[in-house]
Amino acid sequence: MVILTSFFIFVGCSDNEDDVQESGLVTNLSKSSTNFEKSSAIDNQFPQAQDEVLKTFGAIAQSITAGAGNGANSMYMDQLISFHAYGPKFTEFNDGQAFDSAGNEANERTFFGEIVDPGGVVQFAPMEGSLKVAVYYGNVANLTFISDFHLMINGELHIVNNLISLLFVKVKGEWKMVHEHHSPFNE
């Protein structure tokens, strides 16, 4: 019975193929499919994913603030490192240089764990109106902002205004950074 039914469906579809194409149904389905692909990648906002990425960014800021000056191997620095998806695809561009996973981890641990004074994160925020989160397909997100970081280093206040892009990928239900880009902001 299954074989006979499959045969009728196959023959029926083959016989009607010209009618479907003449009616424009195939053309409309193709256009509809193309529009869906465009809208799912570019136009869909994915508000739940945006909220998740912003919460992850907030947790990153908390680990940096709490861990400032507490040593490269403090639990706060370990928490900061846990927000990264290190591996062969990970890259960081910072201060005119490119870094891999090991380089990024060393930079994060050294800068926030040792260079910034204990309790030295006075402000860790984006400039007002600069924060944007773009989510693609619900599992890739680009978070961009202009930093307005106020950091105490050797007892002196340093204000860091950089253009920052953080690329996140959802890995096993968690948002992880796979790329960081920091460059000077020129007003």
Q: E strands within 6-126?
A: 91-94, 97-99, 121-126
Contacts of 153 (CB under 8 A, 6+ apart): 115, 116, 117, 120
Same domain, 12 and 99: no
Same domain for 65 and 26: no
pTM score: 0.78
Same domain, 69 and 8: no
Residues 118 and 97 in one domain: yes
- The CA distance from 104 to 29, in Å, is 46
Tell me whether residue 160 is exposed, middle or buried, using C-beta atoms within 10 angstroms of its C-beta: 0 to 12, 13 to 18, 19 or more: middle
Query: Is the dihedral angle over the CA atoms 85, 89, 92, 98 positive or is it negative?
Result: positive
Do 72 and 7 reside in the same domain of the chain?
no
Dihedral of CA 48/54/84/91: which sign? positive
| pLDDT the model gives residue 23 | 37
- Residue 124: pLDDT over 60: yes
Q: Are residues 51 and 103 in the same domain?
A: yes
Q: Domain residues for 145? A: 46-184
Domain shared by 12 and 84, yes or no = no
Q: Is pLDDT at 38 greater than 50 in this prediction?
A: yes
Residues 30 and 92 in one domain: no
pLDDT value of residue 37? 52
**33 and 120 fall within a common domain:** no
> Cα–Cα distance between 63 and 75 in angstroms, integer?
9
Q: How sure is the predictor about 31, in pLDDT bands with cuts at 50, 70 and 90?
A: very low
| 118 to 49, 121, 154, 157: CA distances (angstroms) | 33, 8, 10, 13
pLDDT of residue 12 exceeding 80, the answer is no
| Residue that has been written with the tokens 């508000």 in this structure | 47
Q: Quote the number of domains for the chain.
A: 2
- What is the structure's pLDDT at 96? 93
Q: Are residues 52 and 11 in the same domain?
A: no
Q: Name the strand (E) or helix (H) holding 31.
A: helix 25-38
